[in-house]
Amino acid sequence: MSEVASKELRIVGFLCNWCSYGGADTAGVGRFKQPTDLRIIRVPCSGRVDPMFVVRALITGADGVLVSGCHPRDCHYTDGNFYARRRLEMLKRLLPFLGIDGKRFHYTWVSASEGQRWQQVVTDFTKQVHTLGPMHQK
Amino acid sequence: MAEKEYAYFCGCSLEGTAKEYDESIRAVMKALGVGLVEPDDWSCCGSTPAHTVSHVLAAALAARNLSLVEKMNKDVLTTPCPSCLMAFKKAQHGMTGSEEFKVEVNELLDEPYNCGVESKSSLQIIYEDIGLDAIAAKVTHMMPDLKVAPYYGCILSRPPEIANFDDPENPVSMDNVLMAAGVEVADFAFKLECCGAAFGVPKREMVNQLSYKVLEMAVDAGANCIAVACPLCQQNLDLRQGQVNSTMGSRFNIPIIYFTQLMGLAFGMSPKELGMDKVFVSADKITRRITKAEYEKIKEEEAAAKKPQKAKKEAAAEETNN
Amino acid sequence: MRVGVFICHCGSNIAGTVDVAKVAEEARKMPGVAYATAYMYTCSEPGQKEITDAIERDKLDRVVVAACSPRMHENTFRRTVMKAGLNRYFFEQANIREHVSWIGLDKELNTKKAIDEVRMAVEKVKRNKPLFSTSFKVNKRVLVLGGGVAGMQAAIDCADGGLEVIMVEKSPSIGGMMARLDKTFPTVDCSICILGPKMVDVAQHDLIKLHAYSEIAEIKGYVGNYQIKIRKKPTYVDWTKCTGCGLCMEKCPTKNAYDHFNFGAAPTRAINIPFPQAIPKKATIDPEFCRQFVKGKCGVCAKVCPTGAINYEMQEEIITEDVGAIITATGYGLMGIENFKEYGAGRYPDVITGIQYERFLNASGPTSGHIIRPSDHEEPKTIVFISCVGSRDKSLGVPYCSNFCCMYIAKQAILTKDHIPDSQSYVFYMDIRSPGKGYDEFTRRAQEEYGAKYIRGRVSRIYPKGKKMVVRGADTLLGTQVEIEADLVVLGNAVVSAEGAAQMAEKLHISYDTHGFYVESHPKLRPVETNTSGVYLAGACQGPKDIPASVGQGSAAAAKVLALFSKDMLESDPAIANVNINTCVGCLKCVKTCPFQAIVEDTLRNGKKVAKVIETVCAGCGVCTSTCPCGAIQLQHFTDNQLLAEVNAICQK
């Protein structure tokens, strides 16, 4: 057991309250099993996610960061997720210049009804981060 | 030099009972500027007998051939035979879908297969890669007596997630190819019906009944010829047409011709070159050919005769409305 | 700072896969935590009392509850801490049920994760600031989108409750799908006879203002204060003059216009009144078919109209209405027959859809209630109904059940026997789904009393044979193939979301699922609310449902609006953006990015330019906060400090 626990990596998730956070709830209610590495931070909108949060997380100890918002055009605040998409795409391209593998960061769209999709997103991203291994040598 | 070149797997049927399919495909492809290269030392595709015994062994047979194609540095393999096609596609689907299965299959092979080859039917190559315009441009002859029921058989478009070609329940590729070749096509409801397939040996009666339905529907649709893309369909409907007639009390005499043979005829090739003499029900009577110029002249005359009538009708209609 | 942490067992929901005692023990060690405990059901009355008692006893000034999703119980616990005298924003909820205990099986890992979640909440709550709502005035008018039975019910209930109602209907008449039905199950009541009075109520109610043949152009604002722009589409007929006499329709020379009301069951005229009971009973020109538009000459209707109502030059018009709440009742659509390739995909005229058949049955339909084969207008004797056409079919993207097809097919089989006594109906079904009151009895009647033959199995192909359509399928109960030579085939085609449903949702800022149906706030307990306060759902826009369910939802949505409007003032959400004028450099990037135009330029007394948030307009998205280069504008309750505290709680432990 403890051996498994030590293998767990640190993944930080920023989830939009209106869609992805609800999608993660829906996945929970549906008992869609997921890896346990992810820790979720609730934000009002993916547009609230400052790219600095992502960088800060990766530099200070996270092995991966996931941002999930509402599908484009389906934003609770009209177009917050469009801002998010621009900023986060820029960030994804910038990360390698900071010496961080771009695969450690992922942004996606999951709606409140897409519990199964959420399970898939978490499983795939966790797997991806695990293939990269821990970012910080302890 | 051919403009395009594909790896070509003719399969066992086209070396024997369906030789005319092979001959006509090679002739038509050549005319369309497409080169076909056979993999060296190809072997059984792993179809019917193999996959009923073991999925792994069947996939290994298919993958062996696909790895030969990989060695030729080709990423597309074309095969005229739907059974071969399905064997390749199933192997590809299984091996790309499951790493475990891939390892299991590759263990049986001398050269591992890296899943880098896409298999396409020859119909798909003609329809999608060569295109209808290129076909139409090659047409020199018309067959005014011919009306064809295009018969796709069961596995060219199904199951959709594996076949990944055309509409699974109402395919139109062969219809469109034949129309581009200037052939009149009937609205045929049994495009995908079962012909009885490989049950010709163990359950002849059943195959006769199933083939009967296909033949009957083609005749009902007003067709005098069935175009096929599968050696097994061709065999059941053509070779066994006499059997069907004797078991079912019917009197069918409808030629079963590969769509590539019909294309070749439209391209002005000789019947001999296309293996037209190898089918059991002769198509000589319905494949009377005239040149395209002659055909267009006849059509013009017909249109000229009709025109005054039509104009009169329109004028009358206008009057009643006002 | 004295934080209290309360870990909920939630029975065995959490305690089953999380060691709650361990979580509480670890929480006690966290800096700033003065008290931590685990309790069986924290949301229960004694559970909440435990919190208020602890606040008093241990002088707590912040509270963390680790339990279910905050989307579930955040408000419950905010009220609890308020009762004990704390600001409601001195509370955070850690989600250790949906996000932990329900998705992981490994108790050790779950416990570890739950501890992290609690640590994050503790770090955040320590940085929470007291926030206070302001109140604002409510505009007590309601917008109802859609004039089907659900929308009409909602409008009438709201208006009877004394509210002013604006109803917008996109087609020329209200009535929706129900107006097209001949009879309703399971009573075989005449549909228009029970719907007609409601339509008249809508038309004649003093408080209901109807905009037919109109669409929503734009929605701005927030609960209590919406500004709606309505696009009135040109009808090319001046409705103030049109008397609905129908003379134009009689004389129109274009006889092949597509009949939207009859779902193309038969063609109609280019100028038409959709049905005799239409409200408003006014004519509309379809410019796609009208000769005046297509060919540029005709003018017959203008010549014959006794009141001179025809106006070919009419333009669309945009009008504005201010409302305080919106009820969305935009209904559903039907999957097009072209998707069903194995059934002919619309190539065979004698394969029709259920709604088209319904129009043939209806006395005001294209055949005046006579059942005919569209191909030769003969009376069919053998009729095959196929249920689940498209529904419950993943390959067509519709994995769900369309809810009412089983019932309307049973009804149509019964009506067929009434219309043509020597007819025989066959019904191919997957399962008979008839769970409503009196529903199962009804499907039994169709079989036992009216002799409809029910065959359990799918149809694989339909093909023509002479004048007949051969329906070939499986009878899975007998284990055989069946072939039926039918005169007419009726497809129970799948219910899909209404055309443009997604775009409408985007205007309303409500969520929709992958199929385009609108998502309710809670599937069990908030079925007519959305996550956008002030927007409510009624009827099939939320998912396929039959008439009683739609009417029920219409009334429910009206009750919600009446409750909302029972107060003159509403409390605003104080979690909005706030500018620190000392650090703001006046770049005004936030002004450009704000999706709500809630930020304006302001000049201080010393002449310095800064950004200023209009409190009532800010919706609290925080886009400005992540735009601001100097961190001067902060979304309260989700400030940089608070979110980074959460990040640090995970990354720097």
Rounded to a whole number of angstroms, the distance from the CA of A3 to the nearest CA of chain C is 11
Cα-based distances in Å from B118 to A96, B22, B109, B210, C282: 34, 21, 19, 32, 60
The span from the CA of B214 to the CA of B248, in Å, is 13
Mean pLDDT calculated for residue range C415-444: 96
Work out the burial of residue C513: count CB atoms within 10 Å of its CB; fewer than 13 is exposed, 13-18 middle, 19 or more buried. Answer: middle
What residues of chain A lie within 8 A of the CB of C513, using their CB? Answer: 111, 113-114
Concatenated DSSP letters for B293-313?
HHHHHHHHHHHHHHHHHHHHH
Domain residue spans of chain B: 4-123, 140-293
State the CATH class of domain B140-293. Answer: alpha beta
Q: Does any CB of chain C come closer than 8 Å to the CB of residue A88?
A: no
Q: Does any CB of chain C come closer than 8 Å to the CB of residue A48?
A: yes
Interface probe for A, chosen from C576, C651, C652, C653 (most Cβ of A below 10 Å), is C651
Mean pLDDT calculated for residue range C9-24: 95
Query: Helix, strand or coil for residue C192?
Result: helix
Letter string b/e over residues C443-468, b meaning 16 or more CB atoms within 10 A of that residue's CB: bebbbeeeebebbbbbbebbbbeeeb
pLDDT tens digit sequence for C615-626: 888 989 999 999
Subunit contact C623:A111, Cβ cutoff 8 A: no
Q: Which of C253, C395, C463 has its CB closest to that of B189?
A: C463
Q: Do chains B and A touch (3 or more CB pairs under 8 A)?
A: no
The DSSP output letter for C380 is: P
Mean pLDDT calculated for residue range C563-577: 93
CB C628 within 8 A of CB C639: no
Q: Which of C99, C509, C647 has its CB closest to that of A53?
A: C647
The span from the CA of B63 to the CA of C317, in Å, is 66
**Chain C (569-588) residues lying within 8 Å, Cβ to Cβ, of chain A:** 575
Q: Where are the alpha helices (DSSP H) in C461-571?
A: 501-508, 547-564
Tokens of C18: 């999380």
CB A113 within 8 A of CB C511: yes
Q: With 70 as the cut, is the pLDDT of residue C597 above it?
A: yes
C486 phi and psi angles, rounded to 5 deg = -105, 155
How many Cβ contacts (< 8 angstroms) between chains A and C? 172
Q: Does any CB of chain A come closer than 8 Å to the CB of residue C597?
A: no
Subunit contact C395:B190, Cβ cutoff 8 A: no
Neighbours of A64 (CB within 10 A): 25
Q: Where are the alpha helices (DSSP H) in C273-425?
A: 291-294, 300-304, 354-361, 405-419
Q: Does any CB of chain C come closer than 8 Å to the CB of residue A43?
A: yes
**Sheet of C62-67: strands edge to edge?**
C33-39, C3-8, C62-67, C91-95
The domain over range A11-132 is classified in CATH as 3.40.1000 = no
Subunit contact A39:C643, Cβ cutoff 8 A: no
Sequence letter at residue B14: L
Cα-based distances in Å from A10 to B57, C199, C652: 43, 60, 11
C134 HSE (CA, 13 A, CB side)? 9
pLDDT of amino acid C509: 87
CB C289 within 8 A of CB C301: no
Neighbours of B42 (CB within 10 A): 17
Neighbours of C32 (CB within 10 A): 13
- Tell me the pLDDT of chain C averaged across its residues: 95
Domains detected in chain C: 3-126 (3.40.50), 141-232+318-331+504-564 (3.50.50.60), 234-315 (3.30.70.20), 333-496 (3.50.50.60), 577-636 (3.30.70.20)
Domain residue spans of chain A: 11-132
Which chains pack against B, by 3+ Cβ pairs within 8 A? Answer: C
pTM metric for this prediction: 0.86
Residue of A nearest to C625 (CA): A48
Subunit contact C345:B220, Cβ cutoff 8 A: no
A10 phi and psi angles, rounded to 5 deg = -100, 115
Mean pLDDT calculated for residue range C18-34: 96
B184 phi and psi angles, rounded to 5 deg = -75, 135
Residue of B nearest to C469 (CA): B189
The span from the CA of B198 to the CA of C439, in Å, is 48
Residue of C nearest to B193 (CA): C461
Q: With 70 as the cut, is the pLDDT of residue C318 above it?
A: yes
What residues of chain C lie within 8 A of the CB of A47, using their CB? Answer: 621-623, 626
pLDDT of amino acid A136: 76
Letter string b/e over residues C521-545, b meaning 16 or more CB atoms within 10 A of that residue's CB: beeeeebbbbbbebbbbbbbbbbbb
* H or E segment and range at residue C83: helix C70-83
Of all residues in chain C, the percent with pLDDT exceeding 90 is: 93
Q: Does any CB of chain A come closer than 8 Å to the CB of residue C511?
A: yes
pLDDT of amino acid A3: 39
Subunit contact A40:C595, Cβ cutoff 8 A: no
Cα-based distances in Å from C13 to A23, A106, C18, C27, C103: 19, 31, 9, 20, 11
Query: Helix, strand or coil for residue C370?
Result: coil
Subunit contact C341:B160, Cβ cutoff 8 A: no
pLDDT tens digit sequence for C457-474: 999 999 999 899 999 999
pLDDT of amino acid A31: 94
Q: Provide the sign of the torsion angle of the four alpha carbons B68, B70, B73, B78, taken in this order.
A: positive
Q: What is the bridge-based pairing of β-strands C91-95 and C468-475?
A: unpaired
What is the CA C151 to chain-centroid distance, rounded?
12
C399 phi and psi angles, rounded to 5 deg = -80, -10
Q: What is the bridge-based pairing of β-strands C609-613 and C599-603?
A: antiparallel
Rounded to a whole number of angstroms, the distance from the CA of B170 to the nearest CA of chain C is 6
What residues of chain C lie within 8 A of the CB of B169, using their CB? Answer: 341-342
Mean pLDDT calculated for residue range C327-338: 96
What residues of chain C lie within 8 A of the CB of B210, using their CB? Answer: none
Range C267-270 contact pairs with CB under 8 angstroms and sequence separation of 24 or more:
C268/C366
Q: Does any CB of chain A come closer than 8 Å to the CB of residue C367?
A: no
Q: What is the CA angle C384-C390-C395, rounded to 5?
A: 135
The span from the CA of C82 to the CA of A65, in Å, is 35
Interface probe for C, chosen from B162, B164, B166, B169 (most Cβ of C below 10 Å), is B169
What residues of chain B lie within 8 A of the CB of C463, using their CB? Answer: 189-190, 217
Q: With 50 as the cut, is the pLDDT of residue C452 above it?
A: yes
The span from the CA of B223 to the CA of B206, in Å, is 24
Work out the burial of residue A56: count CB atoms within 10 Å of its CB; fewer than 13 is exposed, 13-18 middle, 19 or more buried. Answer: buried
**Chain C (59-78) residues lying within 8 Å, Cβ to Cβ, of chain A:** 69-72
- Between residues C151 and C597, the one the model is more confident about: C151
Q: Which of B169, B217, B321 has its CB closest to that of C341?
A: B169
The span from the CA of C502 to the CA of C512, in Å, is 7
What residues of chain C lie within 8 A of the CB of A32, using their CB? Answer: 103
10-residue stretch averages of pLDDT, chain B, 322 residues long:
82 93 96 94 86 89 95 94 94 93 94 94 95 95 96 92 91 96 94 89 90 94 96 94 94 96 96 94 93 90 79 63 51
Contacts of C153 (CB under 8 A, 6+ apart): C198, C538, C550, C551, C554, C555, C558
pLDDT of amino acid C531: 86
Q: Tell me the residues of B at the C interface, defined by beta carbons under 8 Å apart.
A: 160, 167-170, 187, 189-190, 217, 220, 321
Tokens of B20: 């005319």
Mean pLDDT calculated for residue range C583-605: 93
* H or E segment and range at residue C602: strand C599-603
- Residue (of C127, C133, C137, C227) closest to C615 by Cα position: C133
Sequence letter at residue B170: N
Tokens of B254: 């409808």
Q: Which of C253, C345, C463 has its CB closest to that of B321?
A: C253
- Residue (of C268, C146, C259) closest to C210 by Cα position: C146
pLDDT of amino acid C616: 82
CB C588 within 8 A of CB C603: no
- Residue (of B192, B188, B200, B197) closest to B224 by Cα position: B188
Cα-based distances in Å from B220 to B85, B186, C77, C649: 31, 10, 75, 77
The span from the CA of C635 to the CA of B294, in Å, is 81
Subunit contact A47:C519, Cβ cutoff 8 A: no
pLDDT of amino acid C180: 96
- Residue (of A79, A71, A17, A86) closest to C597 by Cα position: A79
Q: With 50 as the cut, is the pLDDT of residue C415 above it?
A: yes
If you search the block for the tokens 């072939």, which residue do you land on?
A: C483
Which chains pack against C, by 3+ Cβ pairs within 8 A? Answer: A, B
Subunit contact B187:C347, Cβ cutoff 8 A: yes
pLDDT of amino acid B318: 59
Subunit contact B189:C464, Cβ cutoff 8 A: yes
Residue of A nearest to C93 (CA): A42
Rounded to a whole number of angstroms, the distance from the CA of C638 to the nearest CA of chain A is 7
Q: Which of B167, B217, B220 has its CB closest to that of C341?
A: B167
What residues of chain B lie within 8 A of the CB of C347, using their CB? Answer: 187
Tokens of B94: 């299984």
Neighbours of C614 (CB within 10 A): 13
Work out the burial of residue B108: count CB atoms within 10 Å of its CB; fewer than 13 is exposed, 13-18 middle, 19 or more buried. Answer: middle
Question: Which CATH architecture group holds B4-123?
Answer: Up-down Bundle (1.20)
Position A5 confidence tier, pLDDT thresholds 50, 70, 90? very low
Strand ranges (DSSP E) for C370-525? 382-389, 424-429, 453-456, 459-465, 468-475, 480-486, 488-493, 495-497
Q: Does any CB of chain C come closer than 8 Å to the CB of residue A85?
A: no
- Between residues A113 and B310, the one the model is more confident about: A113
Interface probe for A, chosen from C19, C512, C621 (most Cβ of A below 10 Å), is C621
